A and B are shown apart, each in its own frame.
Chain A
Amino acid sequence: MVRALRGLGQRVTARIWRLGYASRFFLAILMYSGTSLRRVHLTIREIYFTGVLSLIIILVSGLFVGMVLGLQGYDTLQRYGSTEALGVLVSLSLVRELGPVVAALLFASRAGSAITAEIGMMKATEQLSAMEMMAVDPISRVVAPRFWGGVISMPLLAALFSAMGIFGGYLIGVQLIGVDEGSFWSQMQASVDFRQDIVNGVIKSFVFGIIVSWVAVFEGYDAEPTAEGVSGATTRTVVTSSLAILAADFVLTAFMFTGT
């Protein structure tokens, strides 16, 4: 019994210690970001690998999510005779919640795991050590550009997801089902506020971008330099960042969308 408690205590302290280590790592990234800014090409390269290569999955998923919203939304709204509000339903759901959150979850599993695997493999094959011995700081050369690449890509991907989703909702609602096109867009414009909804959505995706990129680079950098270590780190990236995204979404939504 005592042993079980001790084990529990040890695990909790180990987690807290790791969180502290991760926070110091985050500060180190911020401090050593000079190279990412001066040698922009490093960051651009990472924007390509995290952002451009995630385009397909984001656009396709956005389209499908929007189409489903269109179908489900129509089904529910027609019971209250308010089908012209379909545009409002689709756009608000996407811009406020689904766009930032789902895009971030997809980003975590595609780009986040790739970043972790890349950095983990570099650690396992001693490339990071070699860089250190060549007097090049691996955090500024390898870690920081990937972090900023992720942070820059995330809001753009979330916006693309939302835009694609609204288009999907339009396709289903207006073209397929026959909701009035004019009221679809005009009601949407009347109900979606730039500051309240869109800016908040962008802020959310920016925060999610920081979370995913931070977790991804940290897990990669801290991975055990073995094959199992890297694969475990990749899994942890996806799980940890997904949970953190959903938790942060709750906190942000509570601040942003209540009490107005």
Chain B
Amino acid sequence: MSRTTLDLWVGFFVAVGLGALLFLALKVGNLASSSSGETYAVHAKFDNIGGLKVRGAVKSAGVVVGRVTEIRFDPEAYQGVVTIQLDARYKFPRDTFATINTSGLLGEQYIGFEVGGDTAMLKAGDTIKKTQSAVVLEKLISQFMFNKAAEDGGKK
């Protein structure tokens, strides 16, 4: 095997291998869609964050506008504090409502933004005042049962 043929094959191999890596990174993974642009941090406090995880999505009108980067516990207010990195291109009013939703019935949880009418915008480091915690299934069931019992009681 001559040197040039060898080099050709090795070059081909390395090119194909790197191509596979690139394919995995871009087409299979989320490298292309992950925002490499500027972001600004915003906080939100929840009574119950449910199953929200770091790197969970933050969506507004169904479009991903940011990611959860940190989840802490506030020992004074006994609330969960979520830090969000928002895409710098988007600005949200100060009275934005942050809710924790579930995608699908049993899917992953994400934060949804519902905008209010405030003219002042959220700045970096601000805390979102209006939040709604995650729905806890057990509470829902017990509430349903309680309502059912109350209804039956009332009918009698």
Task: For the complex formed, measure the closest distance between the CB of B64 and the CB atoms of chain A, giving whole angstroms.
Answer: 10
| Chain B residues in 8 Å Cβ range of A166 | 24, 28
A189 lies within 8 A of B27 (CB): yes
| Chain B residues in 8 Å Cβ range of A160 | 16-17, 20
Q: How many residues of A contact B (CB 8 A)?
A: 31
Contact of B30 among A48, A55, A193, A260 (CB under 8 A): A193
* A95-B27 in contact given A156-B14, A159-B17, A160-B16 (Cβ < 8 Å): no
By DSSP majority rule, is chain A's interface helix, strand, loop, or mixed? helix
B29 lies within 8 A of A194 (CB): yes
With CB as the reference atom, state the residue of chain A lying closest to B34: A194
| Chain B residues in 8 Å Cβ range of A153 | 13
Q: What per-residue 1/0 map shows which CB atoms of B37-52 lie under 8 Å from chain A?
A: 0000000000000000
Residue in B3, B10, B16 whose Cβ sees the most chain A Cβ within 10 Å: B10
- A95 CA / B24 CA spacing, docked (Å): 8
Asked if A202 CB lies within 8 Å of chain B CBs, one says yes
| Chain A residues in 8 Å Cβ range of B30 | 189-190, 192-194
With CB as the reference atom, state the residue of chain A lying closest to B53: A260
Asked if A51 CB lies within 8 Å of chain B CBs, one says yes
A192 lies within 8 A of B28 (CB): yes
Interface magnitude class on chain B: 20 to 34
A189 lies within 8 A of B10 (CB): no
Asked if A114 CB lies within 8 Å of chain B CBs, one says no
Q: What per-residue 1/0 map shows which CB atoms of B1-31 lie under 8 Å from chain A?
A: 1010011011011101110110111011111
Task: For the complex formed, measure the closest distance between the CB of B63 and the CB atoms of chain A, giving whole angstroms.
Answer: 13
- A48 CA / B55 CA spacing, docked (Å): 41
Asked if B54 CB lies within 8 Å of chain A CBs, one says yes
Task: For the complex formed, measure the closest distance between the CB of B4 and the CB atoms of chain A, giving whole angstroms.
Answer: 11
B20 lies within 8 A of A198 (CB): no
Asked if B33 CB lies within 8 Å of chain A CBs, one says yes
| Chain B residues in 8 Å Cβ range of A190 | 30
Q: What per-residue 1/0 map shows which CB atoms of A226-260 lie under 8 Å from chain B?
A: 00000000000000000000000000000000001
By DSSP majority rule, is chain B's interface helix, strand, loop, or mixed? helix
| Chain A residues in 8 Å Cβ range of B7 | 41, 44
- A163 CA / B23 CA spacing, docked (Å): 7
With CB as the reference atom, state the residue of chain B lying closest to A80: B106
With CB as the reference atom, state the residue of chain A lying closest to B14: A156
B21 lies within 8 A of A202 (CB): yes
Task: For the complex formed, measure the closest distance between the CB of B44 and the CB atoms of chain A, giving whole angstroms.
Answer: 21
- A185 CA / B28 CA spacing, docked (Å): 7
B33 lies within 8 A of A162 (CB): no
| Chain B residues in 8 Å Cβ range of A155 | 17, 21
Q: What per-residue 1/0 map shows which CB atoms of A194-217 lie under 8 Å from chain B?
A: 100110001000000000000000
Task: For the complex formed, measure the closest distance between the CB of B40 and the CB atoms of chain A, giving whole angstroms.
Answer: 21
List, sorted by A's number, 26 A–B pairs whose CB atoms are closer than 8 Å: A45-B6, A48-B1, A48-B13, A51-B13, A51-B17, A52-B9, A52-B10, A95-B24, A95-B29, A153-B13, A156-B16, A157-B17, A159-B21, A160-B16, A160-B17, A162-B20, A166-B24, A185-B27, A188-B28, A189-B28, A189-B30, A190-B30, A193-B29, A194-B30, A202-B21, A260-B53
